């Protein structure tokens, strides 16, 4: 299985990317298609004495800067490592694409180049957030700030498909993030989407308060991208806050004790909250899997993002999203026909 990887995305590119790809080839049996400046890739690999066996390189001389308008990916930066990778994916030269480059460019570029599954209004970013359980998928985690109800419904369908196919949860519990569990809570958006979610062919468990997310009450948390960003960043900030407090706590104990603490449960907790363990964030709603790796990804994070991309393909996540969209379009058509019939009758 061939995974296309953007060699020039992220803070530690290209070295961390190359190292991660090396691990993915050796440990996961992946075939890798690296995009980026070929000379720089070969030089970085040679300097770090990393073999490029099992990896091909497709030369792409430029890199799209984070601050650039994402649409420049089509023309001005058409020869960038990200644009070239997305084109190779859409042409079927690989099964999935991994990049730690600009989120905005990746969202816009993959929508325009890889294209959406038929019926999908807007693609969404899913982020697996660590919690008391096995983590929950927050969707949308930041791609769409202003959302209509049918977009949230689609986020729910796509998020459920990801958790079932990639995380292996048979009947993912899907919750609508809200300010209370009662059905009359929320803004117009939550009130409007609730009846749609109840009818959806997924395991919808109702409104979920933000308090329940870290405690493991749902597997998929559905929300607009503004609120999703707020949840994600509050969670990150709290994680950092507690990790700082724990460190000062450990320091206050004599050497051996501090070491015990670090080696013991603290290590397990740290591992649980370590974003490098989780891999990247899937872009949901595309015709092929695209994984956004974190900008600060190290080699292990890239390896895990590649593993995730492989699982998306192996378990045909996109296929389940296509099925959901077909039944969604059928239901929509039926509702329209019914409404039309009702109008005729009324006349």
Minimum distance, C-beta of residue 196 to a copy of itself, in the bound complex (Å): 19
Q: Tell me which residues in 138-157 interact with a copy of itself (CB under 8 A).
A: 142, 145-146
Minimum distance, C-beta of residue 166 to a copy of itself, in the bound complex (Å): 23
Pick from 171, 198, 240, 271 the residue near a copy of itself by CB under 8 A.
240
Asked whether position 102 contacts a copy of itself by CB under 8 A, the answer is: no
Q: Give the interface size with a copy of itself as a residue count (CB under 8 A).
A: 46
Residue 202: left if φ>0, alpha if ψ -120 to 50, beta else—which one?
Answer: beta
CB 47 within 8 A of CB 36: no
Minimum distance, C-beta of residue 295 to a copy of itself, in the bound complex (Å): 14
Alpha-carbon distance values, 143 to 81, 123, 133, 155, 283 (Å): 21, 8, 25, 11, 9
Pick from 201, 264, 319, 342 the residue near a copy of itself by CB under 8 A.
264
Pick from 80, 99, 205, 235 the residue near a copy of itself by CB under 8 A.
235
The number of beta carbons lying within 10 Å of the beta carbon of residue 222 is 34
Which of 241, 290, 309, 274 minimizes the C-alpha distance to 135? 274
Asked whether position 10 contacts a copy of itself by CB under 8 A, the answer is: no
CB 144 within 8 A of CB 225: yes
Task: State how far the Cα of 213 lies from the Cα of 136, in Å rounded to an integer.
Answer: 7
Q: Tell me which residues in 202-221 interact with a copy of itself (CB under 8 A).
A: 209-215
CB 318 within 8 A of CB 287: yes
Asked whether position 296 contacts a copy of itself by CB under 8 A, the answer is: no
Q: Which residues bind a copy of itself (CB under 8 A)?
A: 131-132, 142, 145-146, 177, 179, 186-187, 209-215, 225-227, 229-242, 244-245, 248-249, 252-253, 257, 260-261, 264-266, 269
């Amino acid at each position: 299985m061939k995974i296309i990887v953007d060699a020039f995305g992220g803070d530690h590119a290209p070295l961390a990317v190359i190292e991660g790809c090396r691990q993915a080839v050796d440990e996961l049996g992946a075939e890798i298609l690296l995009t980026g400046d070929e000379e720089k890739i070969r030089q970085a690999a040679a300097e770090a004495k990393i073999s490029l066996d099992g990896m091909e390189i497709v030369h792409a001389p430029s890199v799209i800067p984070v601050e650039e308008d994402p649409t420049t990916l089509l023309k001005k930066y058409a020869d960038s490592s990200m644009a070239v990778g997305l084109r190779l994916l859409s042409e079927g030269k690989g099964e999935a694409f991994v990049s730690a480059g600009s989120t905005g460019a990746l969202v816009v570029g993959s929508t325009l180049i890889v294209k959406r599954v038929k019926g999908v209004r807007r693609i969404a970013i899913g982020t697996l957030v660590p919690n008391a359980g096995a983590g929950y998928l927050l969707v949308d985690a930041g791609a769409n700030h202003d959302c209509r109800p049918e977009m949230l419904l689609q986020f729910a369908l796509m998020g459920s498909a990801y958790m079932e196919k990639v995380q292996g949860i048979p009947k993912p519990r899907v919750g609508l993030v809200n300010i209370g569990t009662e059905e009359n809570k929320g803004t117009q958006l939550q009130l409007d989407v609730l009846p749609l979610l109840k009818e959806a062919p997924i395991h919808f468990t109702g409104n979920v308060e933000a308090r329940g997310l870290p405690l493991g009450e749902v597997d998929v948390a559905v929300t607009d991208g503004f609120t999703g960003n707020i949840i994600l960043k509050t969670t990150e900030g709290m994680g950092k806050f507690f990790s700082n407090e724990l460190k000062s706590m450990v320091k206050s104990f004599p050497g051996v004790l501090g070491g015990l603490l670090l080696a013991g449960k603290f290590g397990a907790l740290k591992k649980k909250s370590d974003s490098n363990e989780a891999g990247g964030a899937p872009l949901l709603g595309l015709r092929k899997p695209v994984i956004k790796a974190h900008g600060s990804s190290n080699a292990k994070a890239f390896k895990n993002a590649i593993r995730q991309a492989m699982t998306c393909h192996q378990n045909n996540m996109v296929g389940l999203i296509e099925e959901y969209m077909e039944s969604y379009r059928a239901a929509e058509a039926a509702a329209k026909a019914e409404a039309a019939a009702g109008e005729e009758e009324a006349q």
